Structure 1
Amino acid sequence: MVPVKKGCILFTASLASKISFGLPHAYKASKHTVAGLTKSLSVELGEHGIRVNCISPNGIVTPMLQKAIGNVDKKKGEEMIAVSAVLKGTVLEPEDFAHAALYLASDEAKFISGVNLAVDEAYSVSNQSWKIGFAALSE
């Protein structure tokens, strides 16, 4: 990429690189590392015309996630995630993540570098725990 003065590096991080929630510290640290490396490399490689970004998806109900949350079926897993979603009426699918990756890797994103793009239904911009507090008070 350096010799041709063009390219795109795209990492996968996780919503855990943006907010903290009950995941193991090693997992969160690794995702913060990816986000930090994205920023650092975007500065270092920018002079060579190379863009560096990462994508941080919220939970996507895949077989791996289903196993992690107790072998629930896909529909139940989607319902569990939807409860705390900010953007209602949507379900994050692997294709949504792929579309974000295709955009960031495309020439349409030629001026985007150093970004950690949350694909998370706006989850990372709001603290939904207040809902739990209100629910507890109304019981």
Structure 2
Amino acid sequence: MKEAEKQRDCPCGRKNPKGRLLAYADCCGRYIDHWATQPAPDAEALMRSRYTAFVGGNAAYLLATWHADQRPQQLEFDAAKWLGLEVKQFLPTGEAAAEVEFVARYRLGGRAVRLHERSRFVRDAGRWFYVDGEQF
């Protein structure tokens, strides 16, 4: 990834304490670009980084962070233009389990779409993985 791309605002929309958007390299980029050595520290960070991977069409990261019991063989991306993410709730549900409720907005074929989901995550061998989600 080029240096200029690393300094752009992170698509996940996370902000610093001063209310400024974090740069990709300081936010989801550290997990996406360094998955082998720096996994996401919690389910919310993993969910945000997966959203960012969807924005960037990074199937390898998405598949690597999908729990093996639920992981598809491959991913295909449609022509969605991702518009934003809002995390509604981050809820630890056990020592190695959590849920994240979010709304992701995108445009597909000229139509605005709102994806509202509660995703389930588990921690296995020190890494968080996406399991599945319930859409509202």
Query: What TM bracket, shorter-length normalisation?
Result: under 0.3
* Bigger relative contact order (CA 8 A; separation at least 6): 1
TM-score when scaled to structure 1? 0.26
- Rg comparison, structure with higher value: 1
Q: Which has the larger helix fraction?
A: 1
Q: Structure 1 or 2: larger strand share?
A: 2
